[in-house]
């Protein structure tokens, strides 16, 4: 890690309220080339189909253009193509389907949701509590219903502080207990429906199947 990045990491750790507004200046040609050289040369190609060897043949041009694209900010302002083919320009947020969107969502929700759950919500719970998130889809698991209700009541206010809101049609509190399998409850997460079942030796297990939805 370059001295400049190590210094920023130390400053951020020492002062949680410190804000850095121009980190793009650290994306230098030398730094990106150094990191490119340590990539797995045998890894599968990315979405562009370009291998490590092919990219390296014109690395000077490729890295230079990459820096220009990142610092221009155009990748963040790309419009959204509507069903009728019209391009809708974004005023805020990130482009739907953009390669940078899930990365930024992960960074944003790490602070808006993950750390808050670990450092505040868990301390308020009377029983065990777990939180599983993939980009902007998540499931929170609680031992007691009252803990789930507490989280559900505080979540909208927390998200509002960050300019976010719940998708109400996808958000609910439900029972999912191996001690009440007779309720035949289930929940869906990332296109998979989870329900209680039995293993071949008769033990309680959680089984999953595709919901048929994207």
pLDDT band (50, 70, 90) for residue 214 = very low
Are the C-beta atoms of residues 190 and 166 closer than 8 Å to each other?
no
pLDDT in tens, 158-192: 999 988 888 888 888 999 988 888 888 888 888 88
pLDDT in tens, 106-142: 888 888 999 999 999 999 999 999 999 988 889 999 9
pLDDT of residue 85: 63
Q: How far apart are CA 72 and CA 75, in angstroms?
A: 8
Are the C-beta atoms of residues 121 and 151 closer than 8 Å to each other?
yes
* Average pLDDT score over residue span 6-34: 72
Give the residue with greater pLDDT, 81 vs 150: 150
pLDDT of residue 2: 54
pLDDT of residue 141: 95
Q: How far apart are CA 18 and CA 159, in angstroms?
A: 21
């Amino acid at each position: 890690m370059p001295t400049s990045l190590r210094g920023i990491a130390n400053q951020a750790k020492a002062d949680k309220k410190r804000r850095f507004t121009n980190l793009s200046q650290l994306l230098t040609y030398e730094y990106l080339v150094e990191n490119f050289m340590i990539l797995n040369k045998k890894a599968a190609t990315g979405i562009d189909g370009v291998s490590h060897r092919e990219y390296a043949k014109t690395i000077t041009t490729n890295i230079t253009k990459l820096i220009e694209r990142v610092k221009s900010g155009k990748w963040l302002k790309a419009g959204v193509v509507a069903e009728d083919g019209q391009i809708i320009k974004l005023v805020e947020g990130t482009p739907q389907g953009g390669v940078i969107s899930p990365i930024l969502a992960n960074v944003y929700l790490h602070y808006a949701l993950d750390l808050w759950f670990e450092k505040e919500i868990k301390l308020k719970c009377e029983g065990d509590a777990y939180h599983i998130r993939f980009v902007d889809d998540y499931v929170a698991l609680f031992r007691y219903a009252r803990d789930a209700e507490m989280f559900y009541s505080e979540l909208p206010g927390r998200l509002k502080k960050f300019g976010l809101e719940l998708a109400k049609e996808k958000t609910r509190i439900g029972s999912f207990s191996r001690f009440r399998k007779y309720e035949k409850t289930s929940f869906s997460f990332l296109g998979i429906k989870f329900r209680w079942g039995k293993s071949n030796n008769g033990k309680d297990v959680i089984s999953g199947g595709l919901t048929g939805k994207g």
